[in-house]
Structure 1
Amino acid sequence: MNTIGMGNALVDVLLQLESDRVLPEIGIQKGAMDMISEEQMIRIRKNQEGLKRSQTPGGSVCNTMRAMSRLGARTGFIGKIGSDEVGAYYEEEVKKAGVNPHFIRTEGVSGSCTVLISPDGERTMGTFLGPAATMVPDEIRVEALENYHCIYIEGYLLVNEPLMRATMQKAKQAGLKIALDLSNFNIVNAFKGLLDDIIPNYVDILFSNESEAEAFTGQQAQEAVRTLASMVDIAMVTLGKNGALIARGDTVVHVDAEGGKPVDTTGAGDHFAAGFLYGQTRNASLEQSGRIGSLLAGYVIDAIGPVIPDRHWEQIKLKVNDILG
């Protein structure tokens, strides 16, 4: 099962905070993801010039596609980038990871996400979308979708309803399964009406964390996962250190979390999705797929940034083969 992702093409700039005092100054609530202007982005980075920093290609769906590719899956990614060095860096890194790029290009500055990592590992994000916010339905070509069996879309794209609807319609026409990640509780609260419509009509596999599932259903995780599973084929609610719940029909499976105390939780959900979707490409059970998801999430929280270091992948593949039996 080949998987193509569609999401915001963003370079992540990771800053390790010495304390949380700076967050109220910037005006972003700890743990939140806020949209910022190009000017705000420059100001935050200027403020924090002395901090330890790194940069990596980000955007949650791109993280997922790159991790799936490292496991041996065939993946692609649709996103929109600018004409600057950041856009060129992004494309190069995506290709290096073995992901087939389907980029839409435009003049100007590429999008980026400034990730502020608190001393306790919690991350707070200020996102400047740049060209990512300007994708239009006509830029998504059916021919790009036809080589894949599944499309994985991030909830952040719900801000662009025409794009979301048109892409889901094209994917269904091309016979693809649709996987959706709810992305953020703020997104769920803002677009609940749209989600009520598109989830039962288009979505086959639904990913959420506890706060997103509760925002959508008004229920705690145990009930929420059952409610979500009544709307889609497979529903998931990730529970951080308490693992994840996966439901299909009346069956609910719990998988344990892997890994130790998080160094940085950036990319945990993206890697859980990568492991789960990879398991599905191998016809694995819900439990096996969930365990692969937990395995990858456990490795990524042990590093700064949304990428598992190269040195771990051989060991990960051996463990995945063990899980698959």
Structure 2
Amino acid sequence: MTLTILCSGQGRQHSGMFALTGDVPEAQALFARAAALLGGRDPRDIVLTENSEALHHNRIGQILCSLQSLAATVALRDVIPDRIIVAGYSVGEVAAWGVAGVLSMIDTLDLVARRAEAMDAASPAGDGLLFVRGLSREVVDALCEKHDAAVAIVNPDDAFIIGGCRKALQIIAQKAKEMNAVRVVDVPVEVASHTKRLANASSTFREILDHVPVTLPAPNRVRLLSGIDASPVADIKIGSDKLAAQISQTVHWADCLQACIEGGATAFIELGPGPALSGMVTAAYPGVTARCLDDFRTLDGARAWLKRYS
């Protein structure tokens, strides 16, 4: 049996997201580093005291979500099997490099912060993301082309994240509803991630990656996937090129999940926050087991479940 670890992107930050990981002794260095990156504010306090809008600011959101994946990995390391597949959604792909052992955990957090800063610097004011389900890729592409937007992420079952300026996204949302899209909803992200509008951020982040120690290929029996083409990451230059390009190119998440299944995945655990990715797995592959960390009331419960795949 092969376990797949999924590292979540932004969008599901919540007040209880560190309930299982916040007190883990082995994770305290990560929380301390995140606090330093957040101006001295403890991330555990931030999620408890800030409103939802503040939690979804681009830089804060990216750091919080990545911290959760890294802290969960440290907390569960003793029961994570040697043979795993690791994939990350949006900023979760950077966290996935840390989870897979390709980057140090601290370097991963630092990279997430610098990635967010590069994106903020490159992003036109008023940009964002929109979720649309139930229209074909061809129809969605036509809407995007007409209104100067782009498909940012391709999810399973005709579900798409679209990036562009908010005015254009409002028009696309209305048109999609008129075309009887199953679901249309704003995504709480402040930049048009994974579109050419962030091309300058890709260039900046690629230069940053050249100065960070990377160990590739990943440790034996660990398969790390690239978000833009679902291929295994095995070469430092090619992998870094793709990780940087991902900021301004479409993420093919449906292909990533398919690659996990084809690679022998029989169970998935999403490290969170939230169940968005594990929910996609169960919807697209009904016979496959998928859980998220938020499903468990205690770390012992999560450990007991993971031991089945050790």
Question: Which band: TM-score by shorter chain?
Answer: 0.3 to 0.5
Question: Counting strand residues as a fraction of each chain, which structure ranks higher?
Answer: 1
Which one scores higher on RCO, CA 8 angstroms, separation ≥ 6? 2
The normalised TM-score by structure 1 is 0.33
